[in-house]
Amino acid sequence: MNSLSLVSVRNLSVDFWRVAGPPALSSVSLEVSPGEAVGLVGESGSGKSTLGFAIAGLLDPNDAQLSGEILFKSQNLLTTNQDDYRKIRGSEIGYIFQDASSSLNPLLKIGKQLTHPLMANGGMSKNDAMVRAKELLDMVEISQSERRLNQYPHEISGGMKQRVVIAAALSRDPSLLIADEPTTALDVTVQAQIIDLLLRLKKSLSMSLIFISHDLGVVARVADRVVVMKDGNIVESGGVEQVLANPKESYTQLLLANIPKLRHVDQSHSLSFWGTNER
């Protein structure tokens, strides 16, 4: 393994017990350095979420057989006992789930949703957790944070909900944030704002980021390095500029061909996909 890696996935295979046919992941290898943003891209069903889940320890051994290695700060998570794994996951890995809006409980005020895990898992007092919750809302650039703590999810916009979800994922100050399709449900303008926010946070919090999207255009704006997945395999990977300028695989070329559509819609950012990313 590269000693500089935060995450090092080695020959990881994931096979869901209930599913006949090829495994969801076949001997996949991936490195994530500290502070690096790695983009996972590929069409639906290519195994992106499964890879994110596996790294975060969210796959239940009753559902899937895992083989290979997942090293996090040099510790093999697949041989770590469940309690230790849970600790690492809780404090070191933040996760934004694919269907983010459903990760907010509609019946709970935003403050409660942010403070509960800080108290239950982070061992904070109620007061400290409230202070931290406000700080988190400020961090994700939600205005009037004090007031938001007392609001329910339905009282805020979709973009703001996604900011709350990001705040929750950052609450334990993770060294790795995994964001699974974090902008897919949002309109293009809000999408761009959320991406810019994630990039600012990555920098200011010195995190690594695994950014998952089916959309190569979005990935290209976020990632330093792109990993292209197809049918549970990595078909191509490399620096963003390199992969965009010279895609080796016809599959990558196909993904690339879909970008102009988005460019057309998002005219204010029409040229920014090609190397002028905010890093």
Ligand X SMILES: Nc1ncnc2c1ncn2[C@@H]1O[C@H](COP(=O)(O)OP(=O)(O)O)[C@@H](O)[C@H]1O
Contact residues for ligand X, defined by CB under 6 A: 16, 18-19, 24, 42, 44-50, 63
User: Quick one: what does residue 182 bind among Mg ion, ligand X, none, with the CB cut-off 5 to 8 Å set by partner type?
Assistant: none
CB-nearer residue toward ligand X: 46 or 237: 46
183 binds Mg ion per the rule CB under 5 A = no
Query: Locate tokens 């502070």: which residue?
Result: 35
CB-nearer residue toward ligand X: 43 or 128: 43
Which residues fall within 8 angstroms of residue 183, CB to CB, at 6 or more apart? 162, 190, 191, 194, 195, 213, 218
User: Quick one: what does residue 250 bind among Mg ion, ligand X, none, with the CB cut-off 5 to 8 Å set by partner type?
Assistant: none
CA distance 92 to 25: 24
Q: How far is the CB of 180 from Mg ion (least distance, A)?
A: 6
Footprint of Mg ion on 96-155 (CB under 5 A): none
Query: Which residue's C-beta sits nearest to Mg ion?
Result: 49
User: Quick one: what does residue 154 bind among Mg ion, ligand X, none, with the CB cut-off 5 to 8 Å set by partner type?
Assistant: none
Q: How far is the CB of 40 from ligand X (least distance, A)?
A: 8
Q: How many residues does the chain have?
A: 279
Closest CA to 213 of 202, 203, 227: 227
Q: What are phi and psi of 113, to 5 degrees?
A: -65, -35
**How would you list the strands of the sheet with 7-16, edge to edge?**
25-32, 7-16, 64-72, 75-76
Cα-only R_g, the chain: 19
Pair of tokens at residue 188: 């293009």
* Number of residues binding to Mg ion, judged by CB under 5 A: 2
Pair of tokens at residue 13: 């295979």
User: Quick one: what does residue 63 bind among ligand X, Mg ion, none, with the CB cut-off 5 to 8 Å set by partner type?
Assistant: ligand X
Footprint of Mg ion on 205-264 (CB under 5 A): none
Q: How far is the CB of 17 from ligand X (least distance, A)?
A: 8
Query: Locate tokens 């998002």: which residue?
Result: 266
Pair of tokens at residue 130: 């409230």
Mask for 20-59, x = binds Mg ion (CB under 5 A)? ----------------------------xx----------
Query: Locate tokens 């999207």: which residue?
Result: 213
CB-nearer residue toward Mg ion: 42 or 111: 42
Q: How far is the CB of 108 from ligand X (least distance, A)?
A: 26
Binding residues for Mg ion, per CB under 5 A?
A: 48-49
